[in-house]
Structure 1
Amino acid sequence: MNEIATPQAGLPAVPEPQLPHSIEAEQQLLGALLTDNDLYDRAASIVRSEHFYDPVHQRIFDLCAARIQKNALASPVTLKPFLEDDEGLRALGGPVYLINLAASAIAAYAVKDYAQMIHDLAVRRTLIGLGRDISTKASDVTVASEPDEQIVEAEAALYALAEQGRTESGFQSFLSAVTQAVNVANAAYQRDGGLAGISTGLIDLDKKLGGLHRSDLLILAGRPSMGKTSLATNIAFQVAKAYRKGTTHEGREGAVNGGIVGFYSLEMSAEQLAARILSEASEVPSEQIRRGDMTEAEFRRFVEAAKSLEACPLYIDDTPALPISQLAARARRLKRTKGLDVLIVDYLQLVRPATAKDSRVNEVSEITQGLKAIAKELDIPVIALSQLSRQVESREDKRPQLSDLRESGSIEQDADVVMFVYREEYYKEREKPGDHQLEKMAEWQAAMEAVNGKAEVIIGKQRHGPIGSVELSFEGRFTRFGNLIQPWQQGGGERG
């Protein structure tokens, strides 16, 4: 055998290692399918055409799948007309190859084992390809190619491979999409016509939203002091508290109630956020917790609440000014190691873009697109808090609207749901007349009584549901939102 010398080192060329595959396993699987079409479901749950190493085998499997799904026979005879002009098949001996496949299939009972073997070898080939890509990019030392970005890209590709067995999903058939839609509707139906998504713990908000839906980006916006962080922590606490693990309707291990929550707190520290949640759970005012000004009974309640929440699956990351790429990488890692059902970001304007842009609008656009991509990739609802512009304050009616969102174009466009937190009580308090204005004081007191302890969540946009307003109760001392008892419900007991 002649050796080819490389000009650089004068050494013999190292032959390219052959990628892992098993032609025999592919032949046995296809032969079994051609002799018994009923075996297709067993194989298709594990293997797809792209998992086959031989391109001819890929085409044969695709044809078998297309015919079997139409309840038509897939055999060497019925496949022959479709493959007569196939150059690859001709190189293997033509249509006779199909007959030989069927004739040599001797282990139909082992179809599942062959399918698993073909799948695993395909994953190994993809891993080798990813390794080569990582190595090539790392070798390419340019200003535009930052190592941190390469790490994030590599992690995203490996995560996708670990989750789905492939690095890119590409197109999917309408049948596949319809099946997923039916599964979601079935999950809602199994809950007695309840929620298709995860419950927020707030009944009226759940009715309006149908729960928190997978792959949705929800924007929760409000002016300072409206309580958007409080509402987000309330939802996080309720979802984590309700978490129950089991077998989902899709037949996999996961959350059957509530969920595991990831909370990016870019403004407050983890300790401050935990204190807020403990204030709600123990019914001890948050300012008393900060000062340590508690009675013995309150401190006991506080400690008991802390003990009961020890096992709560709520994970907080309080790293400030996180770039969107790092935020995505950490979310992937959390889902892989602990699980993740809901992600909350407080707040959107404090997230950094991966690269500096020429305008703030473009930066926010990259961040919202990145958050939506996380929701879709991890198949979870993402709740991102957002600031509102000051123009709200200059209007007589201070109820926020979509145009009040800062850098609103991209936020409004990318979000599936946009909600605003509004507390009229906050503005009414600041309209208090002087003590000598008795008539105005009486009017103000009546108005304050009407809005005391109430909050509104205004749904300004919802892709798959109605817009409108939801009334909630708000207890400022405990920074707690709750289900509002309407006058006609008085005496009937509190709703869950």
Structure 2
Amino acid sequence: MLPENNEQALLSCLMKKGDLINEVVITPDHFDYIPNQKIFQAMRRLEAKDIPIDIVSVNTELGQEIIFIGGSDYLSDLYSIHTHEANVKTYERYVMQEYKIRKTKELMKGIEEVHSPKEMNSLQRVVTDINELLEEGADVEFNLSEVLYSLYEDTEKEKEGINGIPTGYLDLDNLLDGLNEEELIILGARPSVGKTAFALGITSNVCNKDHFVDFFSLEMSAKSILTRMISNIGSINSMKMKNAMKRFMEDDWTKYHYAQGVVSSFRNNLVIYDKSKVTVQEIRSKVKQSIRNFPEKRHLVIIDYLTLIQGSGRRERHLEVGEISRNLKRMARDLKVSVLLLSQLSRGLEQRQNKRPMLSDIRDSGEIEQDADKILFLHRDDYFNKQSENKNLIEIIVAKNRNGSVGTVKLNFVKEYNQFSSLENAI
């Protein structure tokens, strides 16, 4: 007997050789025909109970549900189908593809219901859902020999310095091994502690090394970002820059023209996106464009900051933020880029006697902690204690480092210049 469809072919294989259930990743929801869904559900239950799967055990597990699939005759028909067990992954792939076609058609109905610019958010949600659907269950070719050989080649290479993109702060780079591709790195602090200034310092250092930075500024304009970069690079008081013609001395103009020249040299290393409302899908699209334009460079994506990223609007905000962080981690892996995501910490830490940030202070979602490869916190004692002896001293606390050590690095921070430097280079 020949199968009428791929769902039947897959179920027939699984009934004849039950241990093949360990090789498939689809779920009952991927089946279109309800009786097939119920049969596969029964198989998954048997798998969970560690009971061998065959026609008898499936029949027994179905129990009274057998009447909803057409009785034992339907199971017998499935068992008698001519299939090749070696093709089980092919049958699974066909079932998944058919599922994606059905779901895409359903989602496309949502596009047909968009009739005005006011409904663009609905359109964006549909596009995001379709992209996530197409990525679901995507086959990843794995060849053990190839991966081991690649690992061997990496081991044989003599390397100098760090593996990741350097931040420009030596002690931090040694602790982190730089900002590595495929990693999601969280940079958290309370407002006005120096998150954006630190991210801009990293941006300048990365661009100087001829790597590429996609800077997504959701709170400040590109003009404001560049003003702060020039202040940083030129060691120019940011207050003076607000009215340069009146406040600049001759030395300030010299430093300004120097810094402007440095930033101008970043034209092939930096793009700033200052759209106030942006989705992960838009971020992904822009980053892919940068990679196409500069495929030879290593890419760092900086997003300032997490809670300003627009979500789907279909769930509670803390769940939505978790979805955003997962999608950014997926983007980092898929595009092989490093993602530095700025995040505000909850004000609860200000009520504690010990003001040093902890992982539990990450705002809106505990899932962020799970998704992140590295979590960094900025802490300034003089932010909380105006009488602090540690003026202009900032601690970079590495609270999570999936592939390395945790610890603390201390830097000098000159707020009027938006400038970070190692302590031995303190001004």
TM over 0.5: yes
Following TM superposition, by how much is the alpha carbon of 1:464 offset from its aligned partner in structure 2, in angstroms? 0.3
Following TM superposition, by how much is the alpha carbon of 1:181 offset from its aligned partner in structure 2, in angstroms? 3.8
What is the alpha-carbon distance in structure 2 between the residues aligned to residue 198 and residue 211 of structure 1? 5
The correspondence for 1:459, drawn from 369, 381, 398, is 398
Output one character per residue of 1:448-494: Cα deviation in whole Å (capped at 9) or x when no partner: 2xx12211011111100011111111111211111122xxxxxxxx5
Are residues 1:226 and 2:184 paired? no
Which residue in the other structure is 2:204 paired with?
A: 237
Which residue in the other structure is 2:55 paired with?
A: none
- SS of equivalent residue, structure 2 residue 109: coil
Output one character per residue of 1:376-410: Cα deviation in whole Å (capped at 9) or x when no partner: 01101100000100111001110000001112411
Following TM superposition, by how much is the alpha carbon of 1:138 offset from its aligned partner in structure 2, in angstroms? 11
What is the alpha-carbon distance in structure 1 between the residues aligned to residue 223 and residue 337 of structure 2? 26
- SS of equivalent residue, structure 2 residue 148: helix
What is the alpha-carbon distance in structure 2 between the residues aligned to residue 408 and residue 366 of structure 1? 10
Following TM superposition, by how much is the alpha carbon of 1:327 offset from its aligned partner in structure 2, in angstroms? 1.5
8 Å CA contact 2:110, 2:123 repeated in 1: no
The percent of aligned pairs where both chains have the same amino acid is: 30
Output one character per residue of 1:223-278: Cα deviation in whole Å (capped at 9) or x when no partner: 112111111110011001111xxxxxxxxxxxxxxx11100000111111111110
Following TM superposition, by how much is the alpha carbon of 1:152 offset from its aligned partner in structure 2, in angstroms? 6.4
What is the alpha-carbon distance in structure 2 between the residues aligned to residue 229 and residue 421 of structure 1? 11
Which amino acid is 2:178 matched to? Answer: G
Are residues 1:266 and 2:218 paired? yes
Output one character per residue of 1:349-371: Cα deviation in whole Å (capped at 9) or x when no partner: 10011x21321111101110111
Structure-2 change in CA distance of 1:357 and 1:266 (3 Å): same
- SS of equivalent residue, structure 2 residue 174: helix
Comparing 140-149 and 476-485, the one that deviates more:
140-149
- SS of equivalent residue, structure 1 residue 190: coil
Are residues 1:392 and 2:349 paired? yes
Which residue in the other structure is 2:234 paired with?
A: 282
8 Å CA contact 2:213, 2:271 repeated in 1: yes
Structure-2 change in CA distance of 1:336 and 1:352 (3 Å): same
Structure-2 change in CA distance of 1:157 and 1:185 (3 Å): farther
Which residue in the other structure is 2:183 paired with?
A: 216
8 Å CA contact 1:237, 1:314 repeated in 2: no
Are residues 1:416 and 2:373 paired? yes
8 Å CA contact 1:152, 1:326 repeated in 2: no
Which residue in the other structure is 1:33 paired with?
A: none
- SS of equivalent residue, structure 1 residue 365: helix
8 Å CA contact 2:187, 2:378 repeated in 1: yes
Which amino acid is 1:262 matched to? Answer: D
Q: Number of aligned pairs?
A: 314
The correspondence for 1:190, drawn from 159, 162, 179, is 159
What is the alpha-carbon distance in structure 1 between the residues aligned to residue 132 and residue 283 of structure 2? 12
Which residue in the other structure is 1:323 paired with?
A: 279
What is the alpha-carbon distance in structure 2 between the residues aligned to residue 363 and residue 378 of structure 1? 22
8 Å CA contact 2:374, 2:401 repeated in 1: yes
TM-score (norm 2): 0.67
Q: Give unpaired runs (5+ residues) of structure 1.
A: 1-85, 88-128, 161-166, 244-258, 433-446, 486-493
- SS of equivalent residue, structure 1 residue 309: helix
Structure-2 change in CA distance of 1:237 and 1:182 (3 Å): farther
Comparing 383-392 and 171-180, the one that deviates more:
171-180
Are residues 1:483 and 2:422 paired? yes
- SS of equivalent residue, structure 2 residue 277: coil
8 Å CA contact 1:221, 1:420 repeated in 2: yes
What is the alpha-carbon distance in structure 2 between the residues aligned to residue 364 and residue 140 of structure 1? 25
Which amino acid is 1:478 matched to? Answer: Y
TM-score (norm 1): 0.58
What is the alpha-carbon distance in structure 2 between the residues aligned to residue 474 and residue 307 of structure 1? 23
Matching of residues 171-182 of structure 1 within 5 Å = 171-182=141-152
Which residue in the other structure is 1:342 paired with?
A: 300
Are residues 1:304 and 2:258 paired? yes
Q: Give unpaired runs (5+ residues) of structure 2.
A: 1-82, 85-96, 114-121
Q: Which structure's CA Rg is the greater one?
A: 1
Which amino acid is 1:334 matched to? Answer: S
Following TM superposition, by how much is the alpha carbon of 1:143 offset from its aligned partner in structure 2, in angstroms? 5.6
What is the alpha-carbon distance in structure 2 between the residues aligned to residue 172 and residue 228 of structure 1? 39
What is the alpha-carbon distance in structure 2 between the residues aligned to residue 332 and residue 156 of structure 1? 16
What is the alpha-carbon distance in structure 2 between the residues aligned to residue 402 and residue 149 of structure 1? 30
The correspondence for 1:141, drawn from 94, 109, 113, is 109
Which amino acid is 1:366 matched to? Answer: E
What is the alpha-carbon distance in structure 1 between the residues aligned to residue 309 and residue 395 of structure 2? 27
Structure-2 change in CA distance of 1:183 and 1:221 (3 Å): farther
Which amino acid is 2:284 matched to? Answer: A
More helix by share: 2
Which residue in the other structure is 2:140 paired with?
A: 170
Following TM superposition, by how much is the alpha carbon of 1:307 offset from its aligned partner in structure 2, in angstroms? 1.7
Which amino acid is 2:413 matched to? Answer: F
Are residues 1:471 and 2:410 paired? yes
Which amino acid is 1:190 matched to? Answer: K
- SS of equivalent residue, structure 2 residue 242: helix
8 Å CA contact 1:392, 1:399 repeated in 2: yes
What is the alpha-carbon distance in structure 2 between the residues aligned to residue 481 and residue 298 of structure 1? 19
Following TM superposition, by how much is the alpha carbon of 1:374 offset from its aligned partner in structure 2, in angstroms? 1.1
Which residue in the other structure is 2:320 paired with?
A: 363
